[in-house]
Structure 1
Amino acid sequence: MQRFFLLMLCGVCLASAALPACAQPGGFGFTQTDGRVVVDTGAELVFSVDTRNGDLVSMRYRGNELQTLEAKGTQIASGLGAAHVETKTVGDVIVITAQAGDLTHYYLAHRDRNAIYMATYAPTLLPVGELRFVARFNVSKLPKAAQGTDSNVGQAIEGKDVFLLADGRTSSKFYSARPMIDDALHGVSGPGVAVYMLMGNRELSAGGPFFKDIATQKTATTHEMYNYMFSNHTQTEAYRGGLHGVYGLLFTDAGPPSSALTDLRFVNNSLGLRGYVDSAARGSVSAHLSGVAPGLPALIGLSNASAQYWARADARGDAQLTGVRAGQYRTTLYQNELEVARGSVDVKTGSLAHTELNAQPTAGRMNWQIGVPDGTPTGFLNANQLTSAHPSDARMAAWKPLTYTVGSSAISEFPAAQWRDVNSPTRIDFMLGANEVHDYRLRLYVSLAQAGGRPRVTANHTWEAPVAAASNQPESRGITRGTYRGNNTLFEINVPRTALHAGQNSLEIDVASGKTGSGFLSPGFVYDSVQWVSP
């Protein structure tokens, strides 16, 4: 009877040209019913895809079902609703294709690997304005996240995505994020099991090397894990259409995935992925970077409307980028996270291009500075918690107007961020000798601004600088979502000698804006550094 059942099952598989393989117990292959494709990877992973909508509806690792108990599936976007689903085998790879409109989502199973690889062909942005893949796991089996509390079981205090816990801590799915350059993998785990999101090729993502987005979110029943390919979460670039990936879910016995699981060299043209660009259509770039301030890392970024890449330089200032799509790119030299030089490079198929970027020192003589211009608020008050907690979190020092005295105050006394309604003004006191009273330039480096916030500066309560125009920034929350990055902006303010005098002087920095908002959502900005310069 058992042999007869298996023969009938395989007969169903062979009846369709789209189903050239049939799963055997404990063997590599797939079976298909009216509602599901069930894939056995030949290792210890069996997963199922709903053939009506392309959702991933079951993930059994070592016989342990990890899919959430709630009705939502593991899916691209928030589900395709309806999709045309086909399955085929190409050598050692099973390819499941789910198509809805101009979007095609792929699931790939490689023989003898505990992994579900994926790619998403999306030439246009979905009407919801974002592109993501979300895996939904049973929280009781995978309760731990690699980073952040990312729990939404407290009291909502901002929108529906920032929460206050009973002990005064705050949490949000946004606080699970890490910069793209540091987020090759993130995962959730439990006793004896872990699942990692392999982020894969980020060339079609947007925002550059330091952009970050949600990694995980935990509810009372589900632990969600994400690959955000595009969102409007403090986004600084336009959407890039095409094939996003390959990325994947990697299953382990709680330890990090092996190099075999993260190896994507099996992906090639034979799999038939729409928009796939193989190595033969790519080139490489070597770069030499110089002029970055001592002690700060140097990084090169490449970007155009179709792709983006980045690489850190070694101690000699040399960097290498491989697998770059052919085309002309804008090159950017970063001093840590601050753009300090730009150029261009033309990448040709099968060739190595070379580029050099040199940061030039800014004009003028530095008299004093607070912080280091590197695109971050590092060292400032609450800066170490700004990416992992809401500004109202009980673990943060109080935000309030303060006076910073040059020469005696610690850098940790200067605020990482300033809001019009919360901690304005920030006052800076400094001394000038009788022979030091002349024209100066105040440089204010800002890494992010919200609601049109920009500095309004007065000197000695008598002179007020013209207010600059608002900087170009993302039109979304940022600081409260755990990021200090938008578009780095330098505000330069010329302070005439007539506004100054010998002895103690003071500068007051307020927040100017024509926009509304209250509390931590009022107009504001994040400080990178402040410099007082003789022209």
Structure 2
Amino acid sequence: MPASGPVARRTLVLGAAAAAGTAALGGTASAAAFGWSDDGANYVIDTGAQLVFKVGKSNGDLTSLVYRGVEYQGYGGKNSHIESGLGSSTVTIGQSGSTILVSVTHGTLRHYYAARSGENNIYLWTNKADTSVSATRFILRVRAGLFLNDEPDSYTYAPTAIEASDVFAKSDGQTRSKHYSKLRVADYTHVGWSSGGVGLWIVRSNHEKASGGPFYRSLLRHQSADGGGLYEILYYGQNQTEPERFGLQGPYVIALTDGGAPSASLFPGTLTTPWADSLGMAGYVGASGRGRVAGVGITGRDTAYAYTVGLANSAAQYWGSARVSDGYFSIPGVLPGTYTLTVYKDELAVHTGTVTVTAGTTTTLNTIAIPASNDPSNATAIWRIGDWTGTPRGFKNAELMTYAHPSDVRAAPWTGNVVIGSGTETSAFPCYLWKDVNSGIVVYFRLTAAQAAAAHTLRIGVTTAYANGRPQVVVNDTWTSAIPSPPTQPGTRSLTNGSYRGNNHTFTYSVPASAWLTDTGAYNTLRINVVSGSGTTSYLSAGTSIDAIDLLA
């Protein structure tokens, strides 16, 4: 309904087509009270279901979120908003049929809230055009006491800060941080809480304007004694592997439910918004302006692993899973342009190519053949620790490190040497090596006479590094490798904030035959040291994450 009093801001006139397509989505109900009003400081939107929310007219903050008569928004005197709040902004509102749109303009940034008649959802889009505005996230701040938990990303129970101001330890030695989500972007569709018959969620967008690809890890939510926060991260500087992308990102959805998960119809890859086509949002491209990429299959795969196909250029990113049986993949909703196509075995790139996408059409690719040489696992090895997946999976403490600090009481000791042939080579080898913690770990192995008579290539794969940490090796305390140059890696924390994902890199060392022991009954030793002049101490000293280690035949 239109505002009953004077409206301080201009009211938008939306296209009539915005009223079309009222397909039922999660949280639908009677729409008898659908409309908006102006309370002087806020635009008040009633979805006609069980949700009423307010948007500040001066700054575009989400100032109130009332569901079933209960206020959920806010803590510490703070609202929900882009970044830490935009400040003075131009805020407008308009209604056309079944849709209400609130538009926020702050310099070159545009932010939008949309409500649909009869839904307990708020649809959000954010268009960051350049670096003039520091807008990398939307945070939904939630009042204290409504969704208490003690999960890894929670620090409700007043723990002690052990790193920066965002990693904490409880009295029992377990660690907590908002960074400890456990999840890669590809692993989740929504994040939130459920309690007392109410679910409060943010359903993520397709991340086409985000950076880092399908395996990127970032904070998703936090919980403290002051309240909780749910995030849609559009760009986050920690352990970031790609430049920032610009343009309209969304929709991401604030969804209220009866305690269950949000409807799958809201999930990225499923959600369609034809009703938004005529709303006039800056940078919006509807389904008709997008194309699809489909591949008939991928050969040369190791079927023990999942394969992912990614598309990326400077403007957008997308990904899809390859079918286990034959490698077929389909990636819809792609903006027109030319993309680098990458095939990942788990998280390791094993093929790259290019593909051009045209609006309204499907680009069909013939079978992609992965050359055997592209997968380092295919090389014949005398011994191998782990496997080449682009992850430290299987190594000691690897799973724990996606949701805990290395100092956590649950972590197995970071020291300890490894014997080839023991059957525990991978599980006994620590997933991370640091200069100040466990540098100098030794691998023991035997060689046959023929093997000891020849030079061999040693390979150490890493997934990321902190403070330029990289491995230098010593064989039998007689031969020492040169110090390798550091590969390009993110310059921020990684190993201590739940992420091993950086730029996969393989170090190779040509070990001469003179370095090996000629006694076939004796153990050769490989000592792996972490070298770097950067970093500080302990778990913030120079370090690296291990993918695989092998000695080639």
- 2:215 is the counterpart of 1:223: no
Q: Pick from 392, 412, 418: which aligns with 1:404?
A: 418
What one-letter code is carried by the residue in structure 2 that aligns with 1:62?
A: R
Q: Pick from 492, 496, 505: which aligns with 1:480?
A: 496
CA gap 1:116/1:473 in 2 versus in 1, 3 angstroms: same
Give the corresponding residue for 1:425.
Answer: 440
Q: Pick from 73, 78, 82: which aligns with 2:79?
A: 73
Q: Retained in 2: the 8 A contact 1:13–1:31? A: no
Give the corresponding residue for 1:302.
Answer: 311
Q: Retained in 1: the 8 A contact 2:43–2:54? A: yes
Give the corresponding residue for 1:463.
Answer: 479
**CA deviations over 1:76-96 (Å, ceiling 9, x no partner):** 110011111000012311000
Q: How many residues align?
A: 524
Q: Retained in 1: the 8 A contact 2:306–2:346? A: yes
Q: Which whole-Å CA distance do the structure 1 matches of 2:459 and 2:303 have between them?
A: 20
Q: Retained in 1: the 8 A contact 2:31–2:47? A: no
Q: Which whole-Å CA distance do the structure 2 matches of 1:467 and 1:394 have between them?
A: 33
**CA deviations over 1:200-234 (Å, ceiling 9, x no partner):** 22110000110021111112121111000001010
- 2:544 is the counterpart of 1:525: yes
- 2:445 is the counterpart of 1:435: no
Task: Quote how far apart the aligned CAs of 1:98 are.
Answer: 1.0
Q: Which whole-Å CA distance do the structure 2 matches of 1:174 and 1:516 have between them?
A: 20
- 2:394 is the counterpart of 1:379: yes
Task: Quote how far apart the aligned CAs of 1:12 are.
Answer: 4.2
SS of the residue 2:288 aligns to? helix
Task: Quote how far apart the aligned CAs of 1:278 are.
Answer: 1.4
Give the corresponding residue for 1:513.
Answer: 532
With the length of structure 2 as denominator, give the TM-score of the two structures: 0.91
| Structure 2: gaps of 5 or more residues | 15-29
Task: Quote how far apart the aligned CAs of 1:73 are.
Answer: 0.2
- 2:83 is the counterpart of 1:110: no
What one-letter code is carried by the residue in structure 2 that aligns with 1:459?
A: V
Q: Which whole-Å CA distance do the structure 2 matches of 1:289 and 1:486 have between them?
A: 25
CA gap 1:15/1:390 in 2 versus in 1, 3 angstroms: closer
Q: Which whole-Å CA distance do the structure 2 matches of 1:497 and 1:11 have between them?
A: 88
Task: Quote how far apart the aligned CAs of 1:340 are.
Answer: 1.1
CA gap 1:468/1:152 in 2 versus in 1, 3 angstroms: farther
- 2:194 is the counterpart of 1:189: yes
What one-letter code is carried by the residue in structure 1 that aligns with 2:204?
A: M
% identical aligned pairs: 35
- 2:506 is the counterpart of 1:490: yes
Give the corresponding residue for 2:356.
Answer: 346
- 2:57 is the counterpart of 1:51: yes
Q: Which whole-Å CA distance do the structure 2 matches of 1:152 and 1:329 have between them?
A: 47
Q: Pick from 158, 162, 168: which aligns with 2:167?
A: 162
SS of the residue 2:179 aligns to? helix
Q: Pick from 378, 391, 400: which aligns with 2:406?
A: 391
What one-letter code is carried by the residue in structure 1 that aligns with 2:544?
A: F
| Further displaced range: 346-355 or 111-120 | 346-355
What one-letter code is carried by the residue in structure 1 that aligns with 2:428?
A: E
**CA deviations over 1:387-434 (Å, ceiling 9, x no partner):** 00000001111212x221100150211111000000111211111121
SS of the residue 1:181 aligns to? helix
Q: Retained in 2: the 8 A contact 1:119–1:245? A: yes
SS of the residue 1:435 aligns to? helix
Q: Which whole-Å CA distance do the structure 2 matches of 1:42 and 1:201 have between them?
A: 27
| Further displaced range: 404-413 or 449-458 | 404-413
SS of the residue 1:27 aligns to? coil
SS of the residue 2:417 aligns to? strand
Give the corresponding residue for 2:205.
Answer: 200
Give the corresponding residue for 1:3.
Answer: none
SS of the residue 1:67 aligns to? coil
Give the corresponding residue for 2:158.
Answer: 153
Q: Pick from 254, 265, 278: which aligns with 1:270?
A: 278
CA gap 1:157/1:145 in 2 versus in 1, 3 angstroms: closer
Q: Pick from 76, 93, 103: which aligns with 2:99?
A: 93
| Further displaced range: 264-273 or 514-523 | 264-273
SS of the residue 1:280 aligns to? helix
- 2:23 is the counterpart of 1:10: no
Q: Retained in 1: the 8 A contact 2:299–2:370? A: yes
**CA deviations over 1:371-401 (Å, ceiling 9, x no partner):** 011011111111120100000001111212x
SS of the residue 1:432 aligns to? coil
Q: Which whole-Å CA distance do the structure 2 matches of 1:190 and 1:206 have between them?
A: 32
Q: Which whole-Å CA distance do the structure 2 matches of 1:238 and 1:379 have between them?
A: 30
What one-letter code is carried by the residue in structure 2 that aligns with 1:216?
A: R
What one-letter code is carried by the residue in structure 2 that aligns with 1:346?
A: T
**CA deviations over 1:415-455 (Å, ceiling 9, x no partner):** 11000000111211111121221111111110111100111
Give the corresponding residue for 2:90.
Answer: 84
CA gap 1:281/1:18 in 2 versus in 1, 3 angstroms: closer
Q: Pick from 371, 392, 403: which aligns with 1:360?
A: 371
